Amino acid sequence: MSTDHNFSVVGKSLPRSDARIKAVGAAQYADDMFLPGMLHGKLLRSPVAHALIKSIDTSAAEALPGVKCVITGQDIPKIKYGNWRLVPESQDEYALAIDKVRFIGDEVAAVAAIDKDSAEEAIRLIKVEYEELPGAYSVEESLADKAPVIHDEYEQTTPNISLDRKIEYGDLDKVFAEADLVLDDVFTVHATSHAYMEPCSCLSEYDHDGRLTIWTSTQTPYFVQCLLASTMEMRENDIRVIKPFVGGGFGGKMEMRPWEFCSAFMARKLGRPVKFTLTREEELATGRRRHPMRIHSKVAFSKEGMLLGKEFNVHLDGGAYNSMGPTACFLCGNFGAMLYNYPNYRYYGAHVYTNKPPAGAMRGFGAPQALFVAETQMNVAAEKLGLDPVDIRLMNAMESGDEIPGVATISSCGFKESLIKVAEMTNWREKRKNLKPGQGLGLGCYSFISGGVFNWFNTRYNFTRAEVRAFEDGTVHLMTMASDIGQGCDTVLRQILAEELGLKVSDIRLTAADTAVTPQADLGTWGSRVTLMAGNAVRKAAQEIKEELFKMVSLKFDLNVIHDLRCGDGKIYPANRPDRAVSFGDAVKMAQRANRGEPIIGYGSYTPRNKGLVTPAFSFGAQVAECEVDKETGAVEVKFMTTAHDCGTPINPMSVEGQLEGSVHMGLGYALSEQFIMKEGKTLTTTFLDYKIPCAEDMPPGVSVHIDTYEADGPFGAKEAGEGLVSPTAPAIADAVYAATGYRCMDLPLTPQKVLASMKKV
């Protein structure tokens, strides 16, 4: 925490406000809810990767006792949806397939029945006649001559490229001609699963007043509200989305999904509540995933180690629909030029359709892929130029005030300090010289965004808004659509509000993420936007309350206008006369009386304006992995992880640590053990036995330290924490494996088979 700021609630490691209810098992997630008359829904998914639907016969399913409703694409409005409302032609999905299926798992029909067994049996009774089409299962196959066109219903400049993005500044051709060192490499990175522990679930109810209420496991209630309204042909105000407790998301729950539509549609049709809960097999076999990419990166250095420029060509394997691919395509280009100053840069990113489950948003959102490449090339360049990997980074590192042409200006930045710190903590220079055979030490770094600026959802509201109501008993009620999915914003926003108003966290009642009662709108939980954006809105709302109350306190003590007033310990007092204090509740009572009964309510909004194209604030950090490689088995064991990170002011240090440790977990899985094995569009790794997320015994010991910065654009100096750190782990481990074995991984994941194969070649 910055020493200039003397906080009383911010910066404290308070237990999560929802920890007790979760510890006793009383927290209700969507699947824990039951309503009278509730029906159970089930989806029929395509067993083929690419086919025309010739006919669907639902008669046997409808005849099954207990089945109340069967719907197919023919029964629903023919309205496409997608998160990129700003570019309507990018909205390429129907809730249920119409005429054509494009991946194994594409939703074809839905059933609602009196119990799960009947719903499952009914699904098996639906007869679908498919006319199979050739499929394309990789970027190469999709872009080959005569490749099957996956979306032939709308025109693409290049078939199967749904959209592309270019960035260019400087004169790269000159740079490549004159540089002392040019690295020219092709990398491939793989798909991974969010593997949130709570499978997706939702429950819809349609009431006598014509309102649809849906409780759903989502990160973005507002997106669900808007997209349900458009696809159901209802008014937004007739749809109420409530986020119950959510068991993790990591980007995988930030779209409207077919089961949400089907549950809402059938609840409206039947007048009975309908619940859908996915199985883990559905999640792993058909769910959203991290984008696999093919990345061609050409980067130029001077012999002294100065970065001269980079050409970054990325093909994203998007699967069958756009999903959040456009954003990944956009951000990958930005992350390709982050961390260091690239005076010349050219990016081309293309989002390619394939007949596979769609890739979507996932923690890091383009950064883990881009930075695996960028950080690996920094390590290669350091070796080729005879420089220490720390030194070559320090030479080129971004600093506060640096500009990325046309994109952003770096505000707070603790990158160099992070690098110096991890080198010091690990005794980097000495230890690298004294490695035993099979031992390795590797470095990776990251930067990440604190929420996005680009309005791809095309919201007509502020990006976030808070309402705070103050009461005579000295408590306040915070209302926000910010969505806690386990990352802890319910606690953090309470801390920010308590700090601003001088109250205790227990004085704050919170109502969150219910579109009918919390202020329109908040774009939800993604891109590490909540602490900075919702936090700023909460502070502004609190400041409105304070201004009202300060008027009363000033009047009561007949204060000179120049007096500075403060909130603290549940009181309001002149800064120089803390003895003359009015309790917060009494000040509310006075203000309310003076306003002839009008309640004391403060509002605050936040929308990033004049903050460039990407984000108001970047986080930074560095990480060192110490590894041992077993030369018999090729197994990589991470012995220790050392991290230095710059998240501005940590509002709740214990929560930040927990997020960082979770990032290391996901980064470790990304690097070493997690992958989807696919065969012609079919996902074969459909259980947690096959899809290997690290367990408690797999986690290495480690330490992380906080680098002290203060972000002027963030609430009490805070910015992103715990998402960006998913990026450096893979390049750090890969670099350590290179030091241990001579194998330079450019093709994730780094499996024992690859290590062994390389050693036999050596």
Nearest Cα residue to 149 out of 288, 293, 318, 320 = 320
- The rounded distance, in Å, linking the Cα atoms of 145 and 141 is 9
- In one-letter notation, the amino acid at residue 222 is Y
CB of 386 to other proteins, least distance (A): 36
CB of 491 to other proteins, least distance (A): 10
What are the two backbone dihedrals, phi and then psi, of residue 608, each rounded to the nearest 5 degrees? Answer: -70, 120
CB of 249 to other proteins, least distance (A): 8
DSSP assignment of 303-334 equals TT--EEEEEEEEEEEEETS-TTHHHHHHHHHH
Identity of the residue, 62 or 657, whose beta carbon is nearer to other proteins in the bound complex: 657
Coil vs helix vs strand at 349? strand
Identity of the residue, 633 or 687, whose beta carbon is nearer to other proteins in the bound complex: 687
CB of 25 to other proteins, least distance (A): 2
CB of 19 to other proteins, least distance (A): 4
- The rounded distance, in Å, linking the Cα atoms of 192 and 289 is 6
Tokens linked to 36: 């009278």
Identity of the residue, 693 or 705, whose beta carbon is nearer to other proteins in the bound complex: 693
CB of 129 to other proteins, least distance (A): 31
CB of 504 to other proteins, least distance (A): 12
Identity of the residue, 22 or 151, whose beta carbon is nearer to other proteins in the bound complex: 22
H helices, E strands: number in the chain: 19, 30
- The rounded distance, in Å, linking the Cα atoms of 619 and 721 is 7
Identity of the residue, 92 or 674, whose beta carbon is nearer to other proteins in the bound complex: 674
Q: Would you tell me which residues interact with other proteins (CB under 8 A)?
A: 13, 15-16, 18-29, 31-32, 34, 116, 194-199, 245-248, 250, 279-281, 485-488, 506, 654-655, 657-666, 687-689, 693, 695-697, 699
- In one-letter notation, the amino acid at residue 252 is G
SS3 for 568-632, per residue? ECCEEEECCCCCCCEEHHHHHHHHHHHCCCCCEEEEEEECCCCCCCCCCCEEEEEEEEEEEECCC
Identity of the residue, 220 or 655, whose beta carbon is nearer to other proteins in the bound complex: 655
611, 723 contact by CB (below 8 A): no
- The rounded distance, in Å, linking the Cα atoms of 562 and 564 is 6
CB of 117 to other proteins, least distance (A): 8
By DSSP bridging, strand 508-512 and strand 408-409 are unpaired
Identity of the residue, 284 or 553, whose beta carbon is nearer to other proteins in the bound complex: 284
Identity of the residue, 276 or 342, whose beta carbon is nearer to other proteins in the bound complex: 276
Tokens linked to 646: 């710059």
Identity of the residue, 26 or 86, whose beta carbon is nearer to other proteins in the bound complex: 26
| C-alpha pair distances (Å), 493 with each of 17, 496, 645 | 11, 5, 22
Identity of the residue, 604 or 694, whose beta carbon is nearer to other proteins in the bound complex: 694
CB of 21 to other proteins, least distance (A): 6
CB of 699 to other proteins, least distance (A): 5
Residue pointed to by tokens 């069958």 = 320
Identity of the residue, 180 or 657, whose beta carbon is nearer to other proteins in the bound complex: 657
- The rounded distance, in Å, linking the Cα atoms of 464 and 489 is 14
CB of 280 to other proteins, least distance (A): 4
What are the two backbone dihedrals, phi and then psi, of residue 263, each rounded to the nearest 5 degrees? Answer: -65, -40
Identity of the residue, 263 or 704, whose beta carbon is nearer to other proteins in the bound complex: 704
Burial per residue of 410-449, b for 16 or more beta-carbon CB atoms within 10 angstroms, e otherwise: bbbbbbbbbbbbbbeebebeeebeeeeeebbbbbbbbbbb
For 354-495, where are the E strands, in sequence order?
A: 403-404, 408-409, 439-449, 464-470, 476-480
CB of 66 to other proteins, least distance (A): 14
CB of 696 to other proteins, least distance (A): 4
Identity of the residue, 190 or 665, whose beta carbon is nearer to other proteins in the bound complex: 665
CB of 418 to other proteins, least distance (A): 19
Identity of the residue, 574 or 728, whose beta carbon is nearer to other proteins in the bound complex: 728
Tokens linked to 84: 């990129």
- The rounded distance, in Å, linking the Cα atoms of 354 and 137 is 5
Nearest Cα residue to 543 out of 600, 598, 589, 596 = 600
Tokens linked to 271: 């007048």
The dihedral sign for the CA sequence 118, 119, 121, 127: positive
DSSP state of 282: H
Identity of the residue, 16 or 291, whose beta carbon is nearer to other proteins in the bound complex: 16
CB of 192 to other proteins, least distance (A): 11
CB of 342 to other proteins, least distance (A): 32
CB of 682 to other proteins, least distance (A): 18
**Can the peptide bond before residue 521 be classed as cis, meaning omega within 30 degrees of 0?**
yes
Start-to-end C-alpha separation, the chain: 49
Quote the crossing angle between the two packed helices 325-335 and 367-385, to the nearest 10°. Answer: 20
Identity of the residue, 582 or 726, whose beta carbon is nearer to other proteins in the bound complex: 726
550, 572 contact by CB (below 8 A): yes
Identity of the residue, 586 or 674, whose beta carbon is nearer to other proteins in the bound complex: 674
Residue pointed to by tokens 């809960």 = 277
Q: Which residues contact 241 (CB under 8 A, 6 or more apart)?
A: 213, 214, 216, 218, 221, 222, 224, 225, 228, 514, 515
